[in-house]
Amino acid sequence: MSEPVLSVRDLVVEIPTRHGVLRPVDGVSYDIAAGEILGVVGESGAGKSMTGNAVIGLLDRPARIASGEVLLQGQPIHQLQGAALRKLRGRHMGMIFQDPLTSLNPLLTVGDQLTETIQEHLDLSASQAHERAIAALDEVGIPAARQRIDSYPHEFSGGMRQRVVIALALCAEPELIIADEPTTALDVSVQAQIIALLRRLCRERGVAVMLVTHDMGVIAEAADRVAVMYAGRLAELGPVREVVTQARHPYTAGLMASTPVASQGQKRLRQIPGAMPRLDAVPAGCAFHPRCERAQARCRQAPGPTLQACDGRAACWFPITHEQEATL
Amino acid sequence: MSALIRVENLVRDFDVSKPWLNRVIERLPRAKLRAVADVSFEIEERSVYALVGESGSGKSTIGRIIAGLIPASAGRVVIDGVDIVDQGGPDAVRSELQMIFQDPYASLNPRWKVRDIIAEPVAVRGERTQGLAEKLLEQVGLSATDAGKFPHEFSGGQRQRICIARALASNPKIIICDEPTSALDVSVQSQVLNLMSDLREEMGLTYLFISHDLTVVRHMADRIGVLYLGSLVEEAPRDRLFDAPKHPYTRMLFDAAPRMDAFGREVDPPKGEIPDAINPPPGCPYHPRCPLATQICKEEHPAPRMIGETRVRCHHAE
Amino acid sequence: MSDHQIEIETRRTPGRLARAWNGDLAYSFRHSPVAMISAFMVALLVLSAVFAPWIAPHNPFDPGSLNLMNGFTPPGEPNAFTGEVFLLGTDDQGRDVFSTILYGMRISLLVGFSAVMLAMVIGVVLGLLAGYLGGWIESVIMRIADIQLTFPAILVAMLIFGVAKGITPPEYRDQMAIYVLILAIGLSDWVQFARVVRGATLVEKNREYVEAARLVGRRPFSIMIRHILPNALNAVLVIATISLALAIIAEATLSFLGVGAPPTKPSLGTLIRIGQGYMFSGEWWILLFPALTLLALALSINLLGDWLRDALNPRLR
């Protein structure tokens, strides 16, 4: 395989507070190849959005990258700041957020925002940029793009607005797109449209996509590989089909089993006892051990399991093997 | 079995006109948004009735009308034999009905102690609340010592348990659950749904369950009504609805919902979005997006008709 | 929400006090030198005003203790005739400037504090009613507020003062002056409170805990007082602090213009008015020290209010 578009190595994000240093992201490593969608899934507080923000350099102070590397096509970008970072964003990395309204300027027409971004990153004349903006809107499936390019964001519906955001993220032809809960605010029917659009663009343009979401269903449909996060760490990383159907980390397995679909026909849902620990009270050893029915003495001892220390798929000393799964 | 709640031809309009001065200057007419259009259904005692729909379908509005939080524009809502639209408002049935809200952060007053929050429905009636909160906290899986804490000390799932405890305080028969788990994480959602199922069995409760999440509805409901732009387009017992959806909108919803077993599914996504409720399309509200639409759909709003156990509002369903 | 909100209403047991001290608000306080210095200044000035009868070397309101020979004594120097020494000098009538400042501050603070209280009560009540009930009640209240805002507050205060003066009999005027001053400043300042409380009420009344309270049959007035008001108090506290500084300045302005506290019971503003007559004739201290006191008082209260606003604003934390 060729060099990955994005390579994250042992990324640690820290937030110093008066109660001590919190680690919302703690030693996360993964690659995304061109044309691949990596789904990053986890419950609230798992550190999934923080990982995405760290990659694009959008951490709010006082959060900071404490150690680790972020490589974009082999070039380290985690130490870039200011103008260099802004140049990188847009040109090489596009962003799609949950609420399309916050990522669009309400006072500028959609066309102005697109041409501005295009001209900032690509060496094109005004009219060329205009044509390109129309092509970008066309590509994300906005009907009558040539007429609608002079509309303001509020004149679009929610789904169409999210398409505009995607066009904006794509218009300078970046190699990497980071989509943070891109469909959470949308209705089911529109969500399906947006997922289909993301998949098509990823396939046709060979963009690497990091899809951050809490919705396992969205991940299962859209992603090629999935990274499951728990308390700032990677719990499991693997091809989506294997992770969903043959989860090896007990947390992933519990997560899958507790969705109402999985327990179809049963009176009660499977449930994981307790809740994700707060960042100031992450237990020693494996962060999941207080909620885990498979936990043994080793799970309580530091250092906790990591993907590298285990089998590379699940960060668990005692992963569920496929034979056990069959008997469950 | 008898119907505990009967909703007949319920209509609710919202006035979405601009302020008076703007209307005069810009020569605009009053604008009306019909959030609920001629909806009828019945909820059997000790059953779970679910209303599903996307945003703007009117599902929360119906819940709030039944709860007596907002008045109906027309129609009847009969709860346990009392018509709350005609007969002196919702006060008559107030103690029989409670509600659980979507946002566990906004539904607890941040300045109140958990003890006072839970006991409020009883305290308002001037009755004794000694030990009540502690008992209810244990019933919903929290500790009696939590009664002296403030809401900010709890996680989202725990807050939703506190909301459930408050809902149980006045010993209601009916609980209206408005998206009770959509703000929660999956693993916490299953805990809350299980708790709700258990309490229903123990206390013989009737739920009106409002949600956009088909998987949750399929797990919880006995009978399901599908809403689109304020109209009840299809209603059927759970298994019947999921096995043989009749209305094209219901089918679209099922197809569009993300599935755990649909890896890299390549289907044609549904077309279009929910139209503007202020200027809804004439005839059947779904016709602009409907693959089955013909001329009659553009002109005439279909009347409900029965196909087996399913009640559907569609000219072409069979 | 956060610890500080509990802190405000639960200062009863030591356990809570300890928690309050460790809470977010106290933490922010301990890490803001400006807040600590201004809090110290406010405490110093308020305490010295409250305990003026015990601190002040003379009683400026007791004509019997005054000696006209002491007039115009410069600060720190012995008087040419009596040999008495005054820390901040004396004014034309031989009153000790230091003592008059302490007593003047009493009146300034009393008027300012009472006026803010009056404005707060009116503003909070009208704001709650407007925000929660809406409809024509809201329209009437907020339009009155809008109209009042188009006049400078000091003009409104002067108008009220003038009307009140016209209807009180002359022999009571000096006695009533303080109360009229409170009424005038209070009535000119309620709009801010009403607007802030209405805004907070509009936010809170649509939150689900208010719906839950309506659902169980709690009456509107009970909801406003038990549910909404406690959640609007933060904003009220901030406005009250900043209004206090403004009210003290407004009082000083009115007194300076001669429509406020009478010379027999001088406030800081009256003292400045008296002092400005001697500004260019060499007796600078009669103007300078009251003016500096007013500056220190208003500035430190304002800085404290600014800090409080930032510390209580959840978006900035």
Structural domain including C96 reads 37-316
What is the residue extent of each domain of chain A? 251-327
Residue B306 CA to residue B284 CA, distance in Å, equals: 17
Does position C6 have pLDDT exceeding 70, yes or no?
no
Estimate the crossing angle of helix A110-121 against helix A126-139, to 10 degrees.
120
CA angle A63, A69, A75 (to 5 degrees): 120
Does position C314 have pLDDT exceeding 70, yes or no?
no
Query: A205: part of which helix (H) or strand (E)?
Result: helix A188-205
**Sequence-separated (6 or more) residues with CB below 8 Å from residue C109:** C46, C49, C248, C297
Verify that C27 and C68 share a domain, yes or no.
no
User: Do the Cβ atoms of B257 and A187 come closer than 8 Å?
Assistant: no
Note whether C217 contacts B124, CB cutoff 8 Å: yes
Residue with tokens 């994250």: A8
Instruction: Report the residue of chain B nearest C214, measured CA to CA.
Output: B69
pLDDT in tens, chain B (318 residues): 478 999 999 999 988 777 777 778 888 788 888 889 899 999 999 999 999 988 888 899 999 999 988 889 999 999 988 888 776 566 777 788 999 998 888 999 998 999 999 999 999 888 888 889 999 999 999 999 999 999 988 888 899 999 999 999 989 999 999 999 888 888 888 899 999 999 999 999 999 999 998 889 999 999 999 999 999 999 999 999 999 999 999 999 888 888 777 776 666 677 777 777 777 888 898 998 888 888 999 888 899 999 988 999 999 887
Interface residue A157 vs chain B (CB under 8 A): yes
Verify that C66 and C169 share a domain, yes or no.
yes
Question: Where is mean pLDDT largest: A49-58, C25-34, C121-130?
Answer: C121-130
Note whether A189 contacts B252, CB cutoff 8 Å: yes
B212, B214, B273: residue with CB nearest A157: B273
CATH number, position C176: 1.10.3720.10
Residue B273 CA to residue A35 CA, distance in Å, equals: 29
pLDDT at C177: 82
Verify that C19 and C60 share a domain, yes or no.
no
All residues of chain A having their beta carbon less than 8 Å from the beta carbon of residue B155 are: 275
Mean pLDDT of the C261-273 span:
84
Dihedral angle sign, alpha carbons of residues A275, A280, A284, A286 = positive
Note whether C209 contacts B170, CB cutoff 8 Å: no
What are the residues of chain B with a beta carbon less than 8 Å away from any beta carbon of chain C? Answer: 64, 67-69, 91, 94, 97-99, 101-103, 106-111, 117, 120-121, 124-125, 150-152, 163, 166, 170
All residues of chain B having their beta carbon less than 8 Å from the beta carbon of residue C217 are: 91, 94, 124-125
A6–chain B nearest CA distance, Å:
22
Note whether B106 contacts C217, CB cutoff 8 Å: no
User: Do the Cβ atoms of C179 and C111 come closer than 8 Å?
Assistant: no
Verify that C50 and C9 share a domain, yes or no.
no
DSSP alpha helix (H) spans, chain C: 3-9, 14-22, 24-30, 33-50, 52-55, 97-133, 135-149, 153-167, 173-205, 208-215, 220-222, 229-256, 268-276, 285-312
For B35-57, write each residue's pLDDT tens digit: 898 999 999 999 999 999 888 88
Percent of chain C with pLDDT over 70: 91
Structure tokens at A38: 């990596």
**Sequence-separated (6 or more) residues with CB below 8 Å from residue B235:** B41, B223, B224, B225, B226, B310, B311, B312
Does position C239 have pLDDT exceeding 80, yes or no?
yes
All residues of chain A having their beta carbon less than 8 Å from the beta carbon of residue B153 are: none
Verify that C2 and C89 share a domain, yes or no.
no
Residue with tokens 């200027």: B279
For A258-313, write each residue's pLDDT tens digit: 887 755 666 788 888 888 888 888 888 899 999 888 888 888 887 888 888 888 88
C117–chain B nearest CA distance, Å:
23
What are the residues of chain C with a beta carbon less than 8 Å away from any beta carbon of chain B? Answer: 1-3, 5-6, 9, 207-209, 211-218, 222, 227, 230-231
Give bridge partners of residue A89 from the DSSP assignment. Answer: A93
All residues of chain A having their beta carbon less than 8 Å from the beta carbon of residue B212 are: 187-188
Phi-psi region of C83 (alpha: psi -120 to 50; beta: other; left: phi over 0): left
Instruction: Report the residue of chain B nearest A214, measured CA to CA.
Output: B185
Verify that C18 and C150 share a domain, yes or no.
no
Please state the domain count of chain C. 2
Structure tokens at B16: 């979405």
Q: How confident is the model at residue C243 (pLDDT cuts 50, 70, 90)?
A: very high
All residues of chain A having their beta carbon less than 8 Å from the beta carbon of residue B188 are: 43, 275
User: Do the Cβ atoms of A189 and A107 come closer than 8 Å?
Assistant: no
CA neighbours closer than 13 Å in the CB half-sphere of residue A328? 15
Structure tokens at B297: 């759909």
For A204-253, write each residue's pLDDT tens digit: 888 999 999 988 888 888 999 999 999 999 999 999 999 988 899 999 99
Verify that C291 and C190 share a domain, yes or no.
yes
All residues of chain C having their beta carbon less than 8 Å from the beta carbon of residue B69 are: 211, 214-215
Mutate to test the interface with B, among A157, A218, A221 (most CBs of B within 10 A): A221
Structure tokens at B75: 């129609």
Verify that C226 and C310 share a domain, yes or no.
yes
